């Protein structure tokens, strides 16, 4: 029995492709993202109806009908899977008679008016070629075989030597070149271009050996190769020419018609930078959901981790991808940009993401200007300067009616402290102003506010007791502090204005002279039985006098050891970071916090995520607010029907 070993490069590509997928580290799981496309020229985007006139030198009108079909099939799909065609088309059946009278530009303009369309598409098939070319490949044929036995005594044939022989092969190919112009009803040439398209197929000894797919990960390549019917009959030159026509028509369609396409975007699975073991476990679980195609569950988990972990490039990137999936390219851009700025070396996925969403924002701006009806149809959020002054996309739709009803009767109690005039450490320019603005905002949001400014330790305790006595079971409790804060011996302390740098030499003394977040504030609200409690500390300023007094002092506030159920803690900066006091009327953190709480219909988790992302983006990742949460229900600062 003779055996063969093919040496044709085309034939070996199948094996090489499969092996490459096995030995090359595969990329991470991917998510599908809807990308919106706009015509090359923004003026063309305004065209809502096109008449396709039969192209010159187009035998049997094959190409003209191909273009007509391509344009007619363009539709945008919204979240409810409803489709809307972006451009209406008048086809060759109606334009054929008109085409005979078109001799110049004026004729095209007249045709557009007669047909009642915004523009006329016309042109010529400059060339359309198809051919079949023979060529030869080599294959190895066994010249000498021997019979051997395996361990079970079964005979099998083994080739001892090979010889090379030539085999007949054929290449079928086709190519087209098309010139086109799009003319408006006012006589303006909106677009004039040339497109080219090619296709080819190969067979040896009557069996198809078409070159294999090399793009994408292993599974993508395998799927593409399996669809190529290797070993089947070769595609005829006529069919290849028909496909080249189709490809050329697709190019024209992409250049003149707004559209939508689905692309696969890679998740990043490296959890470096996530320090908390539970958060890392949840991140790994999110990656598993992503690999299973459950982007909804993956995004929910990524965002939960994101509330408390802000030092992971992959986490910033993956939450950005979730924003992109949700149709929020501007928010995605901020997250991707933060990830990019945190990199110590280039990352292809991050770089591509930044460029992609930049282009997507520009595309949406073009469509918002020229075709707002398309954005309305697909519920694309328009968060740029033209569309809204609000930085967070907000909608009352989907809010649980029970939550809305509860908000009408719930008691909201807030403690607000702003300390600027410190006696032994640097004075803070914005702290008291920040606190006063927060007090005003909370009062407008139905909070009963207990406030104090430039308080010493005794005054702080007195105000704290007032706050405690006002809390009731089922209340919403909030503490906001603007001033100096330090972390000493794993305790996060908020400092009164009479705190001395010498206190920091003794951890126990320091705790007795300051406000301990975990030992005093958090337990106070938990013991009161609050429905939801929140601690906001804009208190991570640099205090060199205190830092130099003890090695046990860490820059910024550190992660709390525990977070009570139904509570959220947010620090203006992460561990080993300091908060920017700001050059404007408010500190950087508080300025963004005010924007978030004044935005209606945004739940607490999304609002605080936005604050962290905005501050991080404005500081190039130098200040990233930390969020720690154990949420059991929803909370909204404001709801607007």
Q: pLDDT tens, 543-600?
A: 654 544 443 445 568 888 888 889 999 998 876 677 766 666 788 899 999 999 998 8
> Residues 206, 302: one domain?
no
CATH of the domain at 94: 3.30.160.150
Contact 457, 475 (CB under 8 A): no
Question: How would residue 618 be classed by pLDDT, with cut points 50, 70 and 90?
Answer: confident
Domain assignment present for 394 = no
Residue from 479, 569, 567, 568 nearest 531 by CA: 567
Q: Which is higher by pLDDT, 176 or 491?
A: 176
Cα–Cα distance measured from residue 431 to residue 620, given in angstroms and rounded to the nearest whole number: 23
> Residues 23, 75: one domain?
yes
> Residues 213, 319: one domain?
no
> Residues 186, 301: one domain?
no
| Site of tokens 């994101």 | 306
Q: What's the mean pLDDT in 14-26?
A: 35
Is the Cα dihedral 92, 98, 102, 107 positive or negative? Answer: negative
Domain assignment present for 227 = yes
> Residues 509, 575: one domain?
yes
pLDDT at 593: 95
> Residues 102, 245: one domain?
yes
Q: Three-class SS of residue 45?
A: helix
Contact 271, 284 (CB under 8 A): yes
| Site of tokens 């396709």 | 52
> Residues 433, 573: one domain?
yes
Q: What's the mean pLDDT in 223-243?
A: 77
Domain assignment present for 367 = no
Q: Does the pLDDT value for residue 240 go beyond 90?
A: yes
CATH of the domain at 547: 3.40.50.1460
Among the residue ranges 355-359, 381-385, 429-433, 453-457, the one predicted with the least confidence is: 381-385
Domain assignment present for 324 = yes
> Residues 39, 124: one domain?
yes
Contact 119, 112 (CB under 8 A): yes
> Residues 433, 311: one domain?
no
Question: How would residue 16 be classed by pLDDT, with cut points 50, 70 and 90?
Answer: very low
pTM, to two decimals: 0.57
Of 329, 357, 385, the position where a domain reaches its end is 357
pLDDT at 89: 86
Domain assignment present for 298 = yes
Among the residue ranges 12-26, 191-205, 515-529, the one predicted with the least confidence is: 12-26
Q: Does the pLDDT value for residue 386 go beyond 60?
A: no
Kindly state the tokens that stand for 373.
């009806």
Cα–Cα distance measured from residue 120 to residue 52, given in angstroms and rounded to the nearest whole number: 6
Q: pLDDT tens, 125-139?
A: 999 999 999 999 888
> What percent of the chain is predicted at pLDDT more than 90?
36
Highest mean pLDDT among 52-56, 226-230, 380-384: 52-56
Of 300, 333, 357, the position where a domain reaches its end is 357
> What percent of the chain is predicted at pLDDT more than 70?
82
Ordered alpha helix ranges (H), 477-519: 507-512
> Residues 189, 76: one domain?
yes
Domain assignment present for 485 = yes
- Domain containing 462 equals 401-630
CATH of the domain at 345: 1.25.40.10
Domain assignment present for 635 = no
Domain assignment present for 636 = no
Q: What is the mean pLDDT of the chain?
A: 82
149 forms bridges with which residues in the sheet?
Answer: 155
Q: pLDDT tens, 302-344?
A: 988 887 777 899 999 999 999 899 888 888 888 898 899 888 8
Q: What are phi and psi of 202, to 5 degrees?
A: -135, 150
- The total domain count for the chain is 3
Q: What would you report as the CA-atom Rg of the chain, rounded to the nearest whole angstrom?
A: 33
Cα–Cα distance measured from residue 375 to residue 78, given in angstroms and rounded to the nearest whole number: 9
pLDDT at 388: 29
Among left, alpha and beta (phi > 0; psi -120 to 50; other), residue 10 is: alpha
Q: Does the pLDDT value for residue 449 go beyond 90?
A: yes
Among the residue ranges 61-75, 148-162, 226-240, the one predicted with the least confidence is: 226-240
Q: What's the mean pLDDT in 258-280?
A: 90
β-bridge pairing 626-630 and 515-516: unpaired
Long-range contacts of 439-447 (CB under 8 A, 24+ apart): 439/414, 441/594, 441/597, 441/598, 442/412, 442/414, 442/416, 442/478, 442/480, 442/597, 445/412, 445/597, 445/598, 445/637, 445/638, 446/412, 447/412, 447/413, 447/414, 447/476, 447/478
Cα–Cα distance measured from residue 520 to residue 598, given in angstroms and rounded to the nearest whole number: 28
Length of the chain: 641
Of 212, 236, 262, the position where a domain reaches its end is 262
Tell me the CA distances in angstroms from 31 to 265, 318, 323, one per residue in order. 5, 10, 12
> Residues 159, 204: one domain?
yes
> Residues 142, 186: one domain?
yes
């Amino acid at each position: 029995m003779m055996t063969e070993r093919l040496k044709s490069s085309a034939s070996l590509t199948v094996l090489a492709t499969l092996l490459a997928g096995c030995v090359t580290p595969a990329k991470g799981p991917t998510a599908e993202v809807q990308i919106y496309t706009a015509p090359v020229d923004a003026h063309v985007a305004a065209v809502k109806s096109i008449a396709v006139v039969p192209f010159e030198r187009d035998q049997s009108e094959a190409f003209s009908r191909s273009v007509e079909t391509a344009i007619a099939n363009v539709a945008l799909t919204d979240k409810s899977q409803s489709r809307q065609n972006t451009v209406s088309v008048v086809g060759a059946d109606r334009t054929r008679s008109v085409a005979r009278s078109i001799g110049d530009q004026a004729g095209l303009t007249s045709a557009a008016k007669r047909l009642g369309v915004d523009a006329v598409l016309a042109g010529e098939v400059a060339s359309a070629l198809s051919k079949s070319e023979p060529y030869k490949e080599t294959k190895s044929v066994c010249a000498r075989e021997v019979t051997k036995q395996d361990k079970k005594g079964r005979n099998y044939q083994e080739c001892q030597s090979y010889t090379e022989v030539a085999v007949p092969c054929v290449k079928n190919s086709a190519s087209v070149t098309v010139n086109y112009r799009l003319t408006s009803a006012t006589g303006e040439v909106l677009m004039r271009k040339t497109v080219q398209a090619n296709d080819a197929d190969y067979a040896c000894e009557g069996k198809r050996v078409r070159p294999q797919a090399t793009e994408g990960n292993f599974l993508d390549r395998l799927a593409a190769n399996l669809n190529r019917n290797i070993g089947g009959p070769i595609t005829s030159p006529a069919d290849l020419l028909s496909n080249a026509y189709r490809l050329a028509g697709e190019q024209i369609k992409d250049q003149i018609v707004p559209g939508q396409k689905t692309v696969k975007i890679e998740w990043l699975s490296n959890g470096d930078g996530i320090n908390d073991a539970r958060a890392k476990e949840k991140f790994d679980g999110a990656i598993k959901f992503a690999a299973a195609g459950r982007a909804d569950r993956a995004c929910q988990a990524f965002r939960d981790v994101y509330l408390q972990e802000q030092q992971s490039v992959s986490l910033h990137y993956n939450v950005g991808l979730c924003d992109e999936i949700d149709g929020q390219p501007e928010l995605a851009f901020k997250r991707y940009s933060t990830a990019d700025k945190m990199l110590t070396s280039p990352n292809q996925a991050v770089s591509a993401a930044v460029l992609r969403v930049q282009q997507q924002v520009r595309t949406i701006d073009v469509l918002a200007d020229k075709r707002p009806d398309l954005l309305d149809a697909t519920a694309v959020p328009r968060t740029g300067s033209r569309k809204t002054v609000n930085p967070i996309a907000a909608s009352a739709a989907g809010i649980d009616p029970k939550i809305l009803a509860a908000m009408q009767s719930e008691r909201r109690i807030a403690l607000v402290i702003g300390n600027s005039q410190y006696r032994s450490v640097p004075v803070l320019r914005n702290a008291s102003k920040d606190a006063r603005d927060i007090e005003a905002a909370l009062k407008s949001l139905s909070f009963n506010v207990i406030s104090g400014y430039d308080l010493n330790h005794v005054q702080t305790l007195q105000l704290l007791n007032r706050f405690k006595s006002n809390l009731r079971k089922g209340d919403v409790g909030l503490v906001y502090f603007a001033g100096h804060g330090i972390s000493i011996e794993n305790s996060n302390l908020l400092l009164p204005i009479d705190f001395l740098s010498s206190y920091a030499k003794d951890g126990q003394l320091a705790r007795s002279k300051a406000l301990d977040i975990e030992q005093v504030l958090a337990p106070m609200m938990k013991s009161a039985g609050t429905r939801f409690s929140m601690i906001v500390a804009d208190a991570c300023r640099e205090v060199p006098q205190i830092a130099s007094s003890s090695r046990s002092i860490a820059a910024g506030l550190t992660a709390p050891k525990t977070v009570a159920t139904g509570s959220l803690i947010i620090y203006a900066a992460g561990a080993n970071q300091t908060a920017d006091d700001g050059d404007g009327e408010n500190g950087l953190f508080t300025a963004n916090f005010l924007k978030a709480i004044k935005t209606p219909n945004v739940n607490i988790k999304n609002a605080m995520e936005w604050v962290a992302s905005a501050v991080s983006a404005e500081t190039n990742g130098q200040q990233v607010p930390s969020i720690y949460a154990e949420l059991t229900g929803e909370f909204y600062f404001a709801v607007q029907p």
